[in-house]
Amino acid sequence: DAGITQSPRHKVTETGTPVTLRCHQTENHRYMYWYRQDPGHGLRLIHYSYGVKDTDKGEVSDGYSVSRSKTEDFLLTLESATSSQTSVYFCAISEQEQETQYFGPGTRLLVL
Partner 1 sequence: GESVGLHLPTLSVQEGDNSIINCAYSNSASDYFIWYKQESGKGPQFIIDIRSNMDKRQGQRVTVLLNKTVKHLSLQIAATQPGDSAVYFCAERGSNYKLTFGKGTLLTVNP
**Nearer to partner 1 (CB atom), residue 80 or residue 100:** 100
Residue length, the chain? 112
**Nearer to partner 1 (CB atom), residue 18 or residue 105:** 105
- 95 touches partner 1 by CB under 8 A: no
Q: What DSSP letter does each residue of 20-65 carry, written as one string? A: EEEEEESS--SEEEEEEE-TTS--EEEEEEEETTEEEE-TT-TTEE
Q: Among 11-19, 20-28, 67-75, 96-104, which window interacts with partner 1 (CB under 8 A)?
A: 96-104
Site string for partner 1, 16-55 (x = CB under 8 A): ------------------------xxxxxx----------
Considering only residues 8, 18, 51, 105, which one is a binding residue for partner 1 as defined by CB under 8 A? 105
Round to whole Å and give the CA distance between 74 and 21: 9
- 90 touches partner 1 by CB under 8 A: yes
- 104 touches partner 1 by CB under 8 A: yes
Site of interaction with partner 1 (CB under 8 A): 1, 4, 40-45, 90, 97-106
